[in-house]
Structure 1
Amino acid sequence: MTIKNDQTYIDKVLKGDSNAYAFLVEKYKVMVYSLAYKMLVNREEAEEVSQDTFIKAFKNLSKFEGKSKFSTWLYKIAYRSCLDTIKKNSAKYNITDINEITTNQIEETETVLDGIERKERAEIMNQCLLKLPEDERSVLWLFYFKELSLKEIIEVTSLSEANVKVKLHRARKHLLTIVQKNVEPEIINHYGRK
């Protein structure tokens, strides 16, 4: 239903009814802004990228073939715009060595986090996610929070399936190291003993 509904508005825009585009902007503005903010961690830049995304999408609407969902096509434009912004800013992050993390440490930390209250856990995870590099944060966000399939993530990012899987794996491990360093040891000890 949604795909047909989107296509109806896309067809109207392509026939010259530029006001029909307002429906698509309204429907997807939160989605696009959320992706931009998760990648850029800056409200002004996220707003700018969101606006640029919708302008680019409008100008290239005739190139949308309908082979994927409109939202996926729009995500791809937003994702690329974010990468361009990141390149311009050339932000640098300190990457923790993730090769030292063992499966037991991953399971132990997951068990600890299961014991933390849901809201507290969400706040902790959000703070830890913000410390990830943009590419890792965005892949995790697309997969877990927006629940895009691997196929959709591949389309959005233009990465190979193997590359997306590797990025997801590395991002999880990297997130684990950040969680381990940022969750207070008392909380880990308290909940780890239960």
Structure 2
Amino acid sequence: MTTNDENILIDAINNGDTRAYAQLVDRYKDLVYTLALRMLKHKEEAEEVAQDTFIKVFKSLDKFKGDSKFSTWIYRVAYNTCLDNIKKNKKHLNNVAIDEFTFNKLDTIDNALDNIINEERSVLIKNCIDKLPEDSSALLTLFYFEELSLEEISKIINIEANTVKVKLFRARKKLAVILEQYLQPQNMINYGSP
């Protein structure tokens, strides 16, 4: 829309032409709604803010000085209306009582999620360790799952701790190769690679 067209539209609205106002809303509704949705991340709130924006635009149309493009001015009104909405909702969010029970609930949920992830990871690693030669499998199991120190493992398998460290390093390299082979087809499926 050219500046002249914008001025004609503004004058028509100021003179009470409701069709001109409907035309204004129709031209800028997508711009306003998209901005509101990106800022608020909630469809209903974005729709409400878009409506509020056009009410504010209508009420303050006589304040538009023409220093910027009309679309820029509407965009600014929409942006400020979104900020007002965010501030208003933030106040309400702060009124929510957060007590010890709520924190305990969150901790329980976090722990449950961590346990599920750790269990899945543990099952995957155990399955891959089972594919290793016995000595490598035993070393990794003792070190990672039984959480034994190098000294404890050296006493169990009757070799020096430094040798255990070297064998553990080699076992991890073998495990990495197996894990990579195990995860690669899954990644291709997830990402749609050929």
Q: TM-score, normalised by structure 1?
A: 0.46
Greater RCO (CA < 8 Å, at least 6 residues apart): 1
Q: Which protein shows a greater Rg? A: 2
Q: Scaled by the length of structure 2, what TM-score is found?
A: 0.46
